[in-house]
Amino acid sequence: MNLSMPNNHPPFHSNFVRLGHRNYVQGSTLVQGLIEAIASWNLGALQHLNMACYSMLNEQGCYELIKHEQMDNNNIKKSATVFKIRCNSVEHLVLLNGTQKEVTTVIPYDEEVLISQHTLLPSEKKITYSWNANHPLMMILIALNKALLHEVLASNVHGKWIFYKCDLNWHALHSETGTLSLQLGNNLGLQSACSNIYLNETKVGNIFFSRPVL
């Protein structure tokens, strides 16, 4: 990846909230914080998002835009979340870690209400939703995939499905309206799964979830 070499981009400190009864910061909130960080660094429009969550945060976070000469695989692997992004055709690496500062704001949140207009197609391992580019993308994707996996990979011996990582054509998803669909691509037993994401039948990314054995 052709990484940029940023100068004088200070760390960006989050203002996370918790959604509903969760005791952790949801992936959609991490992405919202990233978008705010991108704006503060004047990187331009987000075009592509690749992110991986290696540990769950239940605290405020700090986003760091990494210079090429600062790249250290050990630091990257130790980060809570790693973002590989493209903004205005330039690639960047952003690391997110906790700051031990408490998240004090909780807002009401109901995933079922959020995606109440979805259609499940269990025989196709697929879920569809009428998409508008003004909708909260990450919230929608996480809620849709969770509903899909609950249906097609049901289990009484596993915990809750948790968002783990994604790779998204952010620009395409915010440029069109139409039918958004997620379809189970592959899974490792009942414990982890990758769903492919389509907008008007064109693939625009994928999303990974995992869950523990009880």
Q: pLDDT by residue for the chain (214 residues), tens digit each?
A: 455 544 579 999 999 999 999 999 999 999 999 999 999 999 999 999 999 999 999 999 999 999 765 676 767 878 999 999 999 999 999 999 999 999 999 999 999 999 999 999 999 999 999 999 899 999 999 999 999 999 999 999 999 999 999 999 999 999 999 999 999 999 988 999 999 999 999 999 999 999 998 8
Contact at 8 Å (CB) between 80 and 96?
Answer: yes
Residues 131, 184 within the same domain = yes
Q: Let me know if residue 3 belongs to a domain.
A: no
Point out the domain boundary residue: 86, 107, 128: 107
pLDDT at position 74 is 66
* Residues 115, 69 share a domain: no
Residue 4 lies in a domain: no
Of 84, 107, 130, which one is at a domain's C-terminal end? Answer: 107
d(CA 192, CA 24) in angstroms, rounded, equals 20
68/99 same-domain check: yes
In the prediction, which pLDDT does 214 show?
83
Listed residues 107, 138, 167: the one ending a domain:
107
Residue 1 has a pLDDT of 45
Asked if 204 and 115 sit in the same domain, the reply is: yes
Is residue 54 one of the residues assigned to a domain? yes
In the chain, how many domains are there?
Answer: 2
For residue 29, the model assigns a pLDDT of: 98
Domain containing 143: what range? 111-210
Q: In degrees, to the nearest 5, what angle opens at C-alpha 183 toward C-alphas 179 and 188?
A: 160
Burial of 167 (0-12, 13-18, 19+ CB in 10 A): middle
Which pLDDT belongs to residue 174? 95
44 and 127 both lie in a single domain: no
In whole angstroms, how far apart are CA 163 and each of 47, 114, 128, 143?
A: 21, 17, 19, 10
Query: Looking at the structure, do residues 84 and 129 belong to the same domain, yes or no?
Result: no
57 contact partners, CB below 8 Å, separation of at least 6: 16, 24, 25, 30, 80, 81, 96, 98
